[in-house]
Amino acid sequence: MSVSAAIRRITIPQLRARKGQEPIVALTAYTTPVARLLDPHVDVLLVGDSVGMVVHGLDSTVGVTVEMMALHTAAVRRGSVRAAIVTDLPFGSYQASPRDAFAAAHRLMVEGASAVKLEGGAEMAETVAFLTARGIPVMGHVGLLPQSVNMLGGYNARGRSPEEAERILAAAKAMVEAGAFSLVIEGTVEPLARRITEEVAVPTIGIGASVDCDGQVLVVDDLLGLTGAGTPRFVRRYADLAGAITEAASAFAADVKARRFPGPEHVFAEKKPS
């Protein structure tokens, strides 16, 4: 039996049962090699629509398509054996109707997603219920909603006013009541994120929220120091791969220009006659 065959992928019921237990560890992944490196260390690989900005150079997540998400979901699936794979439904693929959402979610599940994630609150409750009733697990997303950045006017923290805090709390409860097995709470003031975690029956996963959430997620490129200047307040860089890549590329360029590379050990000699 192969090693991969002996490892069972974490299931959605197992994640849901982690409420109030050992924190859930989640990171984004978009490619097979990165998924392979992260897989032993995380519970969830999130194929986020952040791929549009991180990998494809878009200004926001709004331009991400189902085809893009399907491509990256399949890549992450090939690179992992343990972590549950949660894929974002991209903007425009689920807002019009539950049937549209099902078609997009079905495509992503076929490519290897364990569940899908969508943003919103009460206005998305019917869609969440429609999907979960048809066998598609849904992770909700409340607080700062990147797909609604044009309506929100930017990426500022949410829930600072009592009125907005109550709206976000209501959105979280609506998602859970509709059947979401977990919630991402993004860019939300800490007391509100803690309150949501206390008042909903499913695990919460924070990003710019609270240490009291039931888990945490970061964009892997932020964690690795690959996203340059302007890192959000809630990000902790655990490495400086941008510096390492720059140093390696500079050293390679210098060796090529000085004809130090390739050396004799890097080229192929003629085969000597026997």
Return binding residues for Mg(2+): 49, 88, 119
Residues 6+ apart with CB under 8 A from 231: 222, 237
Contact in structure between 262 and 256 (CB atoms under 8 Å): no
Binding-site residues for 3-methyl-2-oxobutanoate, please? 49-50, 88, 117
Contact in structure between 38 and 45 (CB atoms under 8 Å): yes
Closest by Cα among 136, 139, 137 to 119: 139
Catalytic site residue from 186, 198, 199, 265: 186
Calpha distance 119→127 (Å, rounded) = 11
Contact in structure between 176 and 140 (CB atoms under 8 Å): yes
Contact in structure between 131 and 173 (CB atoms under 8 Å): no
Binding-site residues, please? 49-50, 88, 117, 119
Question: Residue type at 266?
Answer: H
Whether 166 is a known active-site residue: answer: no
List, in sequence order, every residue forming a beta bridge with 206; answer none if it has no partner: 185, 216
On the CB side of 192, CA atoms within 13 Å amount to 27
List, in sequence order, every residue forming a beta bridge with 202; answer none if it has no partner: none
Calpha distance 218→197 (Å, rounded) = 18
Please identify every residue annotated as catalytic.
Answer: 186
